[in-house]
Amino acid sequence: MKILLLGAPGAGKGTQASQIAVKYNIPHISTGDIFRKNIKEGTPIGLKAKGYIDKGQLVPDEVTCEMVADRLAQADCANGYLLDGFPRNLFQAEQLAKISTLDTVINIDVDLSALEARITGRRVCPKCGESYHVTTKTDDKCDKCGETLIQRDDDKPATVQSRLEVYKAQTEPLIAYYSEKGILKTVDGMQSIADVFGDIVKVLG
């Protein structure tokens, strides 16, 4: 089962991805995790990516695609995977199509105007990557590993608007792209986390 999760920043992709990966026993592949792992291990492609990041530049699509292709070639992806955060644009989608064929693309549909509070309230664990929200988390410690939670720069109010603009310009066109391929399924992301997951499970069968 090869699945891609689509949705605007704050749509709940990370939360749903964790549950899907466990239920279907497939690896959850996030480009952020791939970058961090390769940079930490000092792989050739990690060093290439670090060179751009250290200069405050975006990692080029070609480098990102190379990292993802390397990850999908690993043994744990033989029976499927769940992609989250890649592809982000049509170029990346076309490159992905050259190396792997998706079974289902799930679009978590949300009202963009309601997303700001959701995004700015997010807190993440810098150690294990687990994500929480201030409306449901009463302390600042990760439930999994006890690390103090942080607010990522990406989740601060000043950057949220620009992230949504980038999403609308670059990632939203993927909805039409995958719809034309007949593999897009849309779920209502404005429901509770449990109800969104229930709808995703229905879609996946």
From the candidates 2, 118, 122, 123, give the one annotated as an active-site residue.
122
From the candidates 48, 88, 141, 185, give the one annotated as an active-site residue.
88
Beta bridge partners of 5: 84, 106
140-to-3, 149, 151, 153 alpha-carbon distances in Å: 32, 5, 10, 17
Between CA 13 and CA 115 the distance in angstroms is 13
Instruction: Determine the straight-line distance between the first and last CA of the chain, rounded to whole angstroms.
Output: 11
Is 123 assigned a catalytic role? Answer: no
From the candidates 48, 137, 163, 185, give the one annotated as an active-site residue.
163
Q: Which long-range contacts (CB under 8 A, 24 or more apart) does 87-93 make?
A: 87/4, 87/174, 88/31, 88/170, 88/171, 89/61, 89/170, 89/171, 89/173, 89/174, 90/173, 90/174, 90/177, 91/61, 92/61, 92/64, 92/65, 93/174, 93/177, 93/178
Is 118 assigned a catalytic role? Answer: no
Is 163 assigned a catalytic role? Answer: yes
Beta bridge partners of 65: none
Is 152 assigned a catalytic role? Answer: yes
From the candidates 13, 71, 118, 123, give the one annotated as an active-site residue.
13
Between CA 102 and CA 96 the distance in angstroms is 9
Two tokens at 33?
A: 């995790």
Give catalytic residues, as residue numbers.
13, 88, 122, 152, 163
